[in-house]
Amino acid sequence: MAKLYEYQGKELLQKGGISIPKGGIAKTKEEAKKIAEEIGGPVFVKAQAWVTGRTEAGGVKCARNPTEAEKEADEILGMDIKGFAVREVLVEEKLDIDREFYIGMIIDDITRRPTLIFSPVGGTGIEEIARKHPKQVVTFPIDITTGLRSYEARNILRKGEIRGDLQRGLSDLLVKFYQVSRKYEARSAEINPLVLTKQGRIVAADSHIVIDDYAVFRHPELGIEIAREFDRPATPLEKVAYQVEAKDHRGTFYFFQMEGKFEARSGYVGFHGAGGGGSMMSMDALLSQGFKMANYCDTSGNPSASKVYRAAKIILSQRNIDGYFASGSGVASQEQFHSARGLVKAFREATLSIPAVIRIGGNSEELAMEILHDHTKDLPGTVEAYGRDTSAVFCARRLRELVEQWDYGRKGSPKEIRGIPKRSSYHFETLTGTLYIRHEECEICTAKPCVSSCTAGILKFDDGKPILAITPDEAKRGRCTECLACEVACEFHGNKAIFINLPIPGLEEAVRVGA
Amino acid sequence: MSILIDEKMRVVIQGITGREGTARAQLMKDYGTKVVAGVTPGRKGETVHGIPVYDTVEEANEREGPLDVSVIFIPAALVKEAALEAIAAGVKLLVIVPDRVPLFDVLEVAKIAGEKGARFVGPNTLGLISPGKAVLGMIGGRAESAREWFKPGVVGVTSRSGGITSAISYYLGKAGIGQSTIIHVGGDAVVGTAHPDVVQLFEEDEDTKAVVMFGEIGTSQEEGVADLMERGEFTKPLVAFIGGAAAKSGTRFSHAGAIIEGGRGTHEGKVRRLREVGAHVVKDFDEIPKVTMDVLNKL
């Protein structure tokens, strides 16, 4: 879920007609001081972080004057709150509080409706209040096609014993609050506390808004970098991975790091799951064998071979992993040789030198296992592939055995890294890369496995050399499915003439920063 | 018998000319599903694997109807329009395969479907299959695999994970236990047909003797099933596995549904609630076939 910072949420609320405290965002103590001067009077300095319990962690401080605000900002900036490095503080007026309320909106999976939550008692401990005094909390399922009506808002409020002028003011606010939630497609939103000041203003003193990941594409104005749930800002490697996902919608690719830095031989494994349920099950199996997870990754939903390749390259770029474990549900509906080829290309380019266990059961698993076994024999690492009749627990145990016996000193000769050919006689663009064929090699090739291996059927021979049977534009728009079959076939049965360059922008830089 | 789908129901595929639509039309047709039409705007007159293509669902319904089911393979951003089109044309069961459908779009479809007496499975579903009869969506991938993996029988399967839906059914089959209908309810936070809806359908189905459910952390679906059991509205034996024991609260594992919201949705809470009402909750996934066999033998 794409979380917004407090100040971002407040900006949306303000645009929707809801009052927020006077204030501004500061990245330095000097900026904080300046904002405090503009506000005049006492201020709050608040760490901007996607975590709860900022106050308890010392991330929210009151300052009586600009000098104090500067000092507090200096302490808070750079602070680590539950693993979240604070880069910005919100400096805003200290409100003169008369009363506090709670309002929230959440999508209820049972009623399949947005549900408004109101409590006449707000502030920290709302969950405690909801548990102990459920009657203090009013919930109301909203009709998605009409939105929240003003009379509905008044009914919610009267159930919370809110009457008179306050009822009118708050009902207007509830309607606006839902409109903001709906407009920006919040999966959940809350103002806690909503403050009634002694001067009679109703002000949103805090905000927690989470945008629906799947709707982020409709809201470029929010500037959300990664539409995924994170409790911390994304790591450089995660950003690289997300760009891969954003640029290739064939299947799903999800990656996050569970541990950034660790020593070699400390039991960390690069994890490559397939499908949410299968991944969870496989992860449980891995943990049961005493392994630790360097990362979580899921490629599923019939991903292209090129996507699986990029995922594997990203997983393998993590330093000091002792093994590679790929496992899904075990009975995949998709053709598994695509994933197998993606893995093979990544293993070869990265010169795999650790044990890998790949549970790749599903359609065409025999071919998938054959590809994995036959095309990795010459690598210093070892690859064992299993099908649907082998359990995840067995595979995790097998990886344990391999890791325990493995000689991590063994280097082997790195494979010749085949980059972009210098004298490429033929090439065309694919959806996310470029395919090169060194036709001079084809002249002396007798096997010629390339054209028959092409699952999309887009290659043909021209005077014994493979060329496109469709227009380059068609290939680029996706007729070349990047199945990698021609490259793998040519590597092992032909004359090593084909290379598909599938760039992963930022990967090298991310690895450098990570180290 | 079976639930939701059989070999007699007339099926339309929206988005039949796309990558997935074309591939899965083949699967469905080869398996025996009565696919009578496809829809892609502007492509009337074409055929895909011998299936006629029309411009709109209404037109498909006029020419090939009455249509009972629509299977939707449309990019996520356009799913809402496609679903509303099918509902407006009078289709009563929709299978929404794509993932990443915006949540508010799903809520809107749910609202309109409710008003028109239509039901939808998904979004983000692999589909459903009544072994030996018909398949909707992409479960099995290819007809020959679907035939090999899924055998007709008396156990209903409902799952929140696509791959696991196939895996459970395959392992049950290997142990000699066939299935009435297998359904992947979809991996998202809000789905049109959730576990409680499915078990109620299995309750009414004479040929389903027991149900196997794969649950996950997040949402209230498993708790909802427990409530039905407690109230005596679902009375058949239930074997359940809840995934995500190792997941931290707030950590997301690909399925949007696997998020803990409020007090509901924890692994521990779901297991406890289901056990209280007499469900057979297994700890180890690999135990499912054996426990199911034991349950069937006691009937």
Q: Is A173 on the interface with B (CB under 8 A)?
A: no
Q: Among all residues of chain B, which has the CA nearest to that of A253?
A: B254
The string of pLDDT tens digits covering residues B181-233 is 999 999 888 999 999 999 999 999 999 999 999 998 888 899 999 999 999 99
What is the predicted pLDDT for the residue at A415?
52
What is the predicted pLDDT for the residue at B115?
97
Q: What is the torsion angle, in degrees rounded to the nearest 10, for the CA atoms of residue B183, residue A252, residue A487 and residue A480?
A: 90
Q: Which band of pLDDT confidence, cut at 50, 70 and 90, is reported for residue B243?
A: confident
Which positions 61-80 of B are in contact with A (Cβ < 8 Å)? Answer: 75-77
Q: Is A179 on the interface with B (CB under 8 A)?
A: no
Q: Among all residues of chain A, which has the CA nearest to that of B140?
A: A333
Nearest to A497 by CA among A430, A441, A419: A441
What is the predicted pLDDT for the residue at B250?
44
C-alpha angle with apex A42: A41 to A46, nearest 5 degrees?
Answer: 135
Q: Taking the CA of residue A81 as centre, how many other CA atoms within 13 Å lie in the half-sphere pointing to its CB?
A: 25
What is the predicted pLDDT for the residue at A414?
53
Q: Does residue A61 sit in helix, strand or coil?
A: strand
Could B163 and A144 be called an inter-chain contact, meaning their C-beta atoms sit closer than 8 Å?
no
Q: Does residue A148 sit in helix, strand or coil?
A: coil
- Report the residue from A106, A145, A231 with minimal CB separation from B250: A231
Neighbours of A286 (CB within 10 A): 26
Q: Among all residues of chain B, which has the CA nearest to that of A393?
A: B286
Q: How far is Cα of residue A50 from the mean position of the Cα atoms in its chain?
A: 15
Q: Is B245 on the interface with A (CB under 8 A)?
A: yes
Could A275 and B163 be called an inter-chain contact, meaning their C-beta atoms sit closer than 8 Å?
yes
What is the predicted pLDDT for the residue at A233?
78
Nearest to A255 by CA among A319, A313, A329: A313
Q: Is B252 on the interface with A (CB under 8 A)?
A: yes
Q: How far is Cα of residue B273 from the mean position of the Cα atoms in its chain?
A: 23
Q: Does residue A343 sit in helix, strand or coil?
A: helix
Residue A463: exposed, middle, or buried by beta-carbon count in 10 A (0-12, 13-18, 19+)?
Answer: exposed
* Euclidean distance between CA atoms B193 and A238, whole angstroms: 33
What is the predicted pLDDT for the residue at A122?
81
Q: Which residues are paired to A117 by β-bridges?
A: A104, A139
What is the predicted pLDDT for the residue at B256?
30
Q: Which amino acid is located at A361 in the chain? A: G
Could A275 and B162 be called an inter-chain contact, meaning their C-beta atoms sit closer than 8 Å?
yes
The string of pLDDT tens digits covering residues B38-70 is 999 999 999 999 999 999 999 999 999 899 999
Sheet holding B134-137, edge to edge: B134-137, B127-130, B179-184, B152-159, B210-216, B238-243, B280-281
Give the list of residues 6+ apart from residue A315 with CB closer than 8 angstroms, or none: A255, A270, A271, A272, A294, A295, A297, A321, A324
Residue B253 has pLDDT above 70, yes or no: no
Neighbours of B248 (CB within 10 A): 12
Residue B249 has pLDDT above 50, yes or no: no
In SS3 terms, A401-427 reads as HHHHHCCCCCCCCCCCCCCCCCCCCEE
* Residue B102 main-chain phi, psi, to 5 deg: -55, 140
Residue B194 Cα, gap to closest chain A Cα (Å): 9
Q: Whole-angstrom distance between the N-terminal and C-terminal Cα of chain A?
A: 28
Asked whether the beta carbons of A115 and A108 are under 8 A apart, the reply is yes
Q: Is A506 on the interface with B (CB under 8 A)?
A: no
Asked whether the beta carbons of B126 and B143 are under 8 A apart, the reply is no
Residue found under tokens 């790929």: A326
What is the predicted pLDDT for the residue at A116?
93
* Token pair belonging to A37: 């001067």
Residue A131 Cα, gap to closest chain B Cα (Å): 10
Prediction ipTM score: 0.91
Q: What phi-psi label fits residue A232: left (phi over 0), alpha (psi between -120 and 50 degrees) or beta?
A: beta
* Euclidean distance between CA atoms A434 and B55, whole angstroms: 36
What is the predicted pLDDT for the residue at B247?
63
Catalytic annotation, residues of B: 255
Could A215 and B243 be called an inter-chain contact, meaning their C-beta atoms sit closer than 8 Å?
no
Nearest to A499 by CA among A453, A443, A435: A435
Give the list of residues 6+ apart from residue A33 with CB closer than 8 angstroms, or none: A66, A67, A69, A70, A73
Neighbours of A279 (CB within 10 A): 30
- Report the residue from B106, B192, B253 with minimal CB separation from A280: B253
Instruction: Answer positive or negative: Cα dihedral of B37, B38, B41, B45.
Output: negative
Strands A465-468 and A23-26: unpaired
Q: What is the mean pLDDT of each run of 10 residues along chain A (515 residues)?
A: 89 98 96 96 94 85 96 95 89 96 90 92 75 82 96 96 94 98 94 95 94 92 79 86 87 87 92 90 90 93 94 95 94 93 95 95 95 94 95 95 90 59 82 93 90 93 93 94 94 92 94 79
Could A109 and B166 be called an inter-chain contact, meaning their C-beta atoms sit closer than 8 Å?
no
Residue B27 has pLDDT above 60, yes or no: yes
Mutate to test the interface with A, among B27, B259, B285, B290 (most CBs of A within 10 A): B285
Residue B263 has pLDDT above 80, yes or no: no
Q: Whole-angstrom distance between the N-terminal and C-terminal Cα of chain B?
A: 19
Q: Is A461 on the interface with B (CB under 8 A)?
A: no
Strands A465-468 and B93-96: unpaired
What is the predicted pLDDT for the residue at A225?
78
What is the predicted pLDDT for the residue at A515?
64
Residue A247 Cα, gap to closest chain B Cα (Å): 15
